[in-house]
Amino acid sequence: MLSYRHAYHAGNHADVLKHLILIQIGLYLAEKPAPFWIVDTHAGAGRYALESEHARKLGEYIDGIGRLWNEPNLPTAAVDYVETVKMLNPDGKLRHYPGSPWLAQKLLRDGDRLRLFEMHSTDSKLLIECFKGAGRQVNITVGDGFTGLKAVLPPPPRRGLVLIDPSYETKADYGAVVKGLQEALKRFATGTYALWYPMLAKLESHQLPDRLKALGAKDWLHATLEVKAPAKDGFGMHGSGMFIINPPWTLEKTLHETLPRLTELLAQGAGAKYTIESQSA
């Protein structure tokens, strides 16, 4: 079916959490000279025009990146995130929002590689156009990211990040991320995996973190950011979570320093809060 288009939601509060964490993991990987890969299983279009009809229809970026854009009092990790987004908006006006692939490429060095997967026919074409001229550093596959993981793991340098953020349009997506992670860990047990999920009234959404913990990874970090209380009618996304397997040892401290302020800035009503939990070997 593949009806989901991220263009409607680009730059919202969920993107803020996901992309802030993506950047922190990438910066950590780049601290060592050895090369690394970043694999994005559901890459989307690569970048988004916030003045487009899609983005303006819901205007979700206004209560996401829009609230941080000119905020002078930001934690260091939030500054890293906003400054990276500003690279796509050199005139200082918020007109474009980078997707995960665009942000990921900015974290790469000469020997690092980016592997992207996207199934949606329209978004995959936009993704290819986004990285036209990128050469061997970026490889794009039009197809299922979970299937594609089998071919790219483990990456040759044995260092890497796998970002997994499907649309969760159907119940099957929840099972697919658990199965996909389980199989990926067999191939590349030492890799870093960052899985995003929406916080919804659905049972599958509530159960997902426990299912991910049950995979048996020795080191994991789970962070959530809720911008409001769940709606009484059960509709809508009130927050999102990131479950990271084999996280950088610095990430938990960074999130403790960042999420309190981020929750204040992104709150859309009563019930805004964050959580951080972890396990280490």
Which residues form the catalytic set? 165
The residue to which tokens 């019930």 are assigned: 271
- Residues 192/25, Cβ–Cβ less than 8 Å: yes
Which pair of structure tokens corresponds to residue 197?
A: 């999920």
Concatenated DSSP letters for 218-258? SSEEEEEEESSPPPTTS-S--EEEEEEES--TTHHHHHHHH
Alpha helices in the chain (DSSP H): 13-29, 53-58, 65-68, 76-86, 100-106, 121-130, 145-152, 171-187, 203-213, 251-266
3-state secondary structure of 42: coil
Closest CA to 112 of 79, 80, 156: 156
Alpha-carbon distance values, 212 to 162, 174, 180, 208, 224 (Å): 15, 10, 11, 6, 14
CA 218 – CA 190 distance, rounded (Å): 11
Answer whether the bond into residue 154 is a cis peptide, omega within 30°: yes
